[in-house]
């Protein structure tokens, strides 16, 4: 076999093929089985705590009821008027969220507390817990005088019998029915005739007085109101408390109080509405009378009766006036023309027109006489010359009449002017009247509309008054109890299943967490698993913990378990050294204290027991322990030989009691051990040793501290690297793996030392296979180990488990 392949694979045959457990699972279970007593103790402790919590916790019950909220606030006998409802703050559709808040409001709960007389409370004092007494207390507390109504008071009452009781810690006996003081408050207690001493745990009771607001707050803490679903108007009311009777009374009283509040609110609204309507009707009656009188006066003062007829009359009169005015202007123009005509001398002997529309009585005869006289003159002139006195007389008459006509025309003209002015004034009056018609019409319409609004409002108020009177006579609540609160309720606390489950979990998780934390904080090697996970170097075997004072535990007739472990190591070494006739075995470790000298001593002893001449060389010249451990007398050693002050024969020391076992001490500790081990005489020493002994054991210094072991590796055929359980650091496995993979030392094999018994179980290793250790099918094979106790129940259980699965 080659050096690096140690041949451990065939040893897998040592694993039972019919075992359902793999070595890793078995090792894991038995590794932590030692903690089982602590887990069971912790679990029992938490189960006890859970029992005490369930036993002495105050029971909380959940009582439930339901009520229907009608979604229409209007009375069946009153027509719905949105504006009127809005005016009096009445909503057509109920807001369930608002109703829920009303049910949970403090004013409502204070009324509940007042109805149930929860201002005074009673508790029965037990040894562990205190219980609420309701509805039949052993006595009745009456607060005769309260010093501060904003805060309550409490006192302890101890019933003595015979009408006597004790107050708080006082030893003075007080009598029922007589006033006594509690602080600054004066109270009195009367006995309940129905009191039965056997109904209570003891005769100590806690009682007191509290304001209703505090009682309401206590009720609010246990009350919950919820809507069944979004489409439903049914509310579910629930109350949680330690007294089921109180819970039922609170819920039923709450629904009753809510019902009465709705009725009271409706009655108050109706009463206020009637008062408002009556007041408004009284005021509106006077206002309506004033509006009617004002309209009548306005129509009389402004002569406004029939606006259409009056407007038509104005227009007709205006037309007539304008026609007369035009005619008058024509006559005036004719008069002006006649005046001009008569005043013109050229027309002195001309006829004056008479048919021009002038119908003046005085003017027409004069014009007629004037024209007749002109005609007579013309006729006379045809027979008589102008110089004739008759002609002259006629001309004098014509001139006189002409002047009279002219004056008459002036008078007619002045008369026409006056008539024209009158027509103009009349026209303006008519136009002003026409212009004033729209304003009067608007004023009249406004006054009529105001009167009409007042009349409609008066009619509406009369109607609403009748409706409100009908509603007041038939006021009902908009709520209805669907399911009243009754029965013992459902116990919700303590939740026994939840409490026991929680405490069982705590009883398991806490110790398991502590164990896990311990394992996490461990940075030392705890077993084979740590080695196998961090290095590929083979494990030659395991050495258990030794309780013996002597370093040498392997003797000729020894049948101790640890002795057999070293014998197994000897067997496993055959896979490593192969057919080497005189093997040199180097033993080293990472640090001091890992049992390197102990292993070297007993490996040497077990080799010597195989009838092979064995020598142990104490190469740890910095801190030698082999000679002292074997209690040998020191003499010349390796350092003496290397400096030439001793011969080989002077170095070898025989180990008494063990045949074929010898030791070569290190000698005096030199100041330069590393340089001394490089001396050429070391080769001569090793050659001499190999020639004289069958097996050479080299106990070297820790390779993790100094380089001595690496330098001595050139003489060795294999290396036993000691790893001590719970001592060697896990991180050191990386350094060991580096030594193994880079072959810095020959044929490295690991030896796990000081393996502690995990829960009275020890997993031995033989060529890579497990075998049962202490107490499991080993009766008669090994000597009884002192200090081992397999009689406990946990040990017997573990033994049986191992027999079944190991």
Which of 568, 545, 542 lies closest to 27, judged by CA? 542
Domain range for 456: 307-472
Which of 82, 68, 81, 90 lies closest to 475, judged by CA? 90
Does residue 563 lie within any of the structural domains?
yes
Place of tokens 């206020």: 272
Same domain, 498 and 588: no
Over 398-453, what HEC string results? HHHHHHHHHHHHHHHHHHHHHHHHHHHHHHHHHHHHHHHHHHHHHHHHHHHHHHHH
Domain boundary among 481, 506, 521: 521
Same domain, 356 and 337: yes
Cβ pair 30, 759 in contact under 8 A? yes
Place of tokens 């808040």: 101
Strand order in the sheet with 204-209: 130-132, 120-125, 204-209, 153-161, 164-167, 173-175
Same domain, 563 and 695: yes
Domain boundary among 182, 209, 236: 209
Does residue 289 lie within any of the structural domains?
no
Cβ pair 68, 234 in contact under 8 A? yes
What is the model's pLDDT at position 24?
58
With H, G, I as helix, E, B as strand and everything else as coil, classify residue 689.
Answer: helix
Which of 230, 217, 210, 211 lies closest to 104, judged by CA? 217
Same domain, 651 and 782: yes
Per-run averaged pLDDT (10 residues), the chain, 806 residues: 36 36 61 84 94 90 92 49 54 76 92 94 90 93 92 93 91 93 94 90 93 93 91 92 93 92 80 82 79 69 61 68 74 79 78 66 76 80 80 82 81 81 76 62 65 79 82 77 89 90 94 87 86 92 88 86 92 91 95 93 95 95 91 89 93 93 93 89 95 96 88 95 93 92 94 75 41 45 52 54 49
Does residue 423 lie within any of the structural domains?
yes
| 667 φψ region: left (φ > 0), alpha (ψ -120 to 50), beta (else) | left
Total domains, the chain: 4
- Could you tell me how many residues make up the chain? 806
Which helix (H) or strand (E) segment is 158 a member of?
strand 153-161
Alpha helices in 474-595 (DSSP H): 496-521, 528-534, 561-577
Does residue 233 lie within any of the structural domains?
no
Question: Which residues touch 248 (CB under 8 Å, ≥6 apart)?
Answer: 63, 484, 485, 486, 487, 489
Cα–Cα distance for residue pair 69/96, rounded to 1 Å: 8
Does residue 716 lie within any of the structural domains?
yes
Domain boundary among 177, 209, 241: 209
Same domain, 696 and 797: yes
Cα–Cα distance for residue pair 585/123, rounded to 1 Å: 85
Same domain, 566 and 644: yes
What is the model's pLDDT at position 25?
67
Cβ pair 462, 257 in contact under 8 A? no
Same domain, 694 and 797: yes
Same domain, 642 and 712: yes
Cα–Cα distance for residue pair 353/356, rounded to 1 Å: 7
The DSSP bridge pattern shows strands 204-209 and 120-125 to be antiparallel
Same domain, 464 and 557: no
Cβ pair 698, 575 in contact under 8 A? no
Does residue 188 lie within any of the structural domains?
yes
654 forms bridges with which residues in the sheet?
Answer: 662
The DSSP bridge pattern shows strands 180-182 and 185-191 to be antiparallel
Report the CATH number that the domain containing residue 597 is assigned in CATH.
3.40.50.300
185 forms bridges with which residues in the sheet?
Answer: 182
Does residue 286 lie within any of the structural domains?
no
Place of tokens 């392997």: 554
Same domain, 531 and 516: no
CA-to-CA separations, 531 to 271, 528, 540, 725, 737, in angstroms, rounded: 95, 5, 12, 10, 10
Cα–Cα distance for residue pair 653/522, rounded to 1 Å: 42
Cα–Cα distance for residue pair 183/208, rounded to 1 Å: 12
Cα–Cα distance for residue pair 619/613, rounded to 1 Å: 19
Q: What angle do CA 361, 363, 364 make, to 5 degrees?
A: 75
What is the model's pLDDT at position 421?
83
Does residue 426 lie within any of the structural domains?
yes
Cα end-to-end span (Å), the chain: 32
Cα–Cα distance for residue pair 471/473, rounded to 1 Å: 5
DSSP state of 171: -
Cβ pair 796, 790 in contact under 8 A? yes
Which helix (H) or strand (E) segment is 691 a member of?
helix 681-692
CA-to-CA separations, 699 to 569, 626, 663, 706, 713, in angstroms, rounded: 16, 8, 11, 14, 11
- Can you give the C-alpha Rg of the chain in angstroms? 68
Same domain, 506 and 603: no
| 789 φψ region: left (φ > 0), alpha (ψ -120 to 50), beta (else) | beta
Which helix (H) or strand (E) segment is 750 a member of?
strand 748-755
Same domain, 177 and 35: no
Number of H helices, E strands in the chain: 21, 24
Number of C-beta neighbours around residue 654 at 10 A: 12
């Amino acid at each position: 076999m080659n050096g690096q392949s140690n041949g451990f694979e065939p040893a897998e045959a040592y694993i039972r093929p019919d075992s359902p457990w793999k070595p890793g699972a078995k090792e894991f279970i038995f590794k932590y089985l030692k903690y089982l007593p602590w887990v069971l103790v912790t679990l029992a402790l938490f189960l006890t705590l859970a029992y005490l919590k369930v036993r002495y916790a105050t029971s909380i019950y959940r009582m439930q009821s339901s009520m229907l909220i009608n979604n229409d606030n209007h009375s069946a006998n009153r027509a719905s008027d949105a504006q009127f409802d809005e005016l009096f703050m009445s909503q057509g559709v109920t807001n369930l969220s608002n109703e829920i808040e009303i049910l949970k409001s403090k004013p409502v709960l204070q009324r509940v507390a007042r109805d149930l007389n929860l201002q005074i409370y009673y508790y029965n004092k037990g040894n562990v817990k205190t219980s609420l007494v309701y509805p039949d207390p052993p006595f009745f507390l009456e607060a005769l005088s309260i010093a501060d109504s904003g805060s309550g008071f409490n006192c302890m009452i101890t019933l003595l019998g015979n009408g006597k009781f004790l107050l708080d810690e006082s030893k003075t006996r007080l009598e029922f029915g007589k006033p006594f003081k509690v602080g600054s408050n004066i109270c009195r207690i009367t006995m309940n005739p129905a009191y039965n001493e056997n109904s209570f745990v003891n005769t100590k009771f806690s009682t007191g007085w509290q304001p209703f607001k505090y009682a309401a707050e206590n009720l609010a803490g246990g009350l919950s109101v919820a809507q069944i679903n979004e489409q439903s108007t049914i509310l579910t009311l629930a109350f949680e408390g330690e007294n089921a009777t109180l819970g039922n009374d609170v819920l039923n009283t709450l629904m009753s109080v809510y019902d009465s509040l709705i009725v009271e609110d409706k009655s108050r609204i109706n009463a206020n509405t009637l008062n408002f309507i009556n007041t408004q009707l009284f005021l509106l009656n006077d206002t309506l009378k004033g509006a009617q009188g004002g309209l009548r006066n306005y129509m009389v003062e402004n002569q406004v009766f029939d606006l259409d007829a009056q407007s038509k009359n104005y227009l007709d009169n205006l037309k007539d006036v304008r026609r007369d005015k035009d005619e008058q202007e024509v006559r005036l123009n004719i008069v002006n023309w006649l005046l001009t005509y008569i005043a013109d001398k050229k027309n002195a002997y001309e006829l004056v027109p008479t048919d021009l529309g002038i119908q003046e009585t005085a003017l027409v005869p004069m014009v007629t006489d004037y024209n007749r006289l002109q005609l007579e003159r013309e006729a006379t002139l045809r027979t008589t010359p102008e110089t004739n006195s008759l002609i002259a007389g006629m001309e004098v008459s014509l001139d006189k009449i002409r002047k009279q006509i002219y004056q008459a025309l002036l008078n007619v003209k002045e008369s026409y002017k006056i008539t024209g002015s009158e027509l103009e004034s009349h026209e303006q009056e008519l136009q002003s009247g026409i212009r004033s018609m729209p304003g009067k019409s608007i004023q009249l319409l406004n006054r009529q509309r105001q009167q009409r609004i007042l009349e409609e409002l008066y009619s509406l108020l009369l109607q609403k008054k009748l409706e409100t009177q009908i509603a007041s006579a038939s006021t009902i609540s908009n709520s209805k109890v669907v399911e009243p609160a009754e029965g013992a309720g459902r116990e919700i606390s303590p939740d026994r299943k939840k409490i026991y489950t929680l405490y069982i979990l705590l009883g398991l998780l806490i110790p398991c967490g502590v164990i896990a934390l311990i394992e996490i904080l461990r940075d030392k090697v705890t077993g084979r698993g740590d080695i196998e996970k961090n290095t590929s170097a083979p494990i030659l075997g395991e050495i258990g913990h030794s309780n013996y004072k002597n370093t040498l535990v392997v003797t000729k007739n020894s049948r101790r378990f640890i002795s057999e472990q070293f014998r197994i190591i000897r067997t496993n070494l055959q896979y490593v050294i192969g057919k080497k006739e005189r093997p040199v075995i180097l033993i080293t470790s990472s640090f001091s204290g890992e049992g390197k000298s102990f292993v070297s001593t007993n490996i040497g002893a077990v080799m010597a027991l195989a009838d092979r001449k064995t020598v142990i060389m104490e190469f740890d010249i910095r801190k030698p322990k082999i000679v002292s451990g074997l209690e040998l007398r020191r003499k010349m050693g390796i350092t003496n030989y290397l400096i030439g002050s001793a011969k080989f024969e002077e170095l070898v020391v025989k180990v008494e009691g063990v045949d074929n076992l010898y030791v070569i001490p290190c000698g005096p500790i030199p100041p330069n051990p590393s340089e001394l081990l490089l001396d050429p005489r070391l080769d001569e020493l090793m050659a001499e040793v190999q020639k004289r002994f069958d097996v050479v054991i080299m106990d070297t210094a820790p390779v993790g501290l100094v380089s001595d072991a690496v330098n001595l590796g050139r003489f060795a055929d294999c290396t036993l690297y000691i790893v001590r359980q719970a001592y060697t650091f896990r991180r050191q496995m990386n350094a060991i793996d580096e030594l193994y993979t880079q072959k810095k030392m020959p044929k490295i094999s690991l030896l796990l030392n000081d393996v502690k018994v995990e829960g009275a179980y020890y997993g031995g290793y033989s060529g890579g296979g497990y075998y049962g250790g202490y107490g499991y099918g080993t009766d008669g094979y090994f000597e009884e180990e002192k200090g081992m106790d397999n009689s406990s129940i946990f040990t017997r259980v573990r033994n049986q488990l191992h027999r079944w699965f190991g």
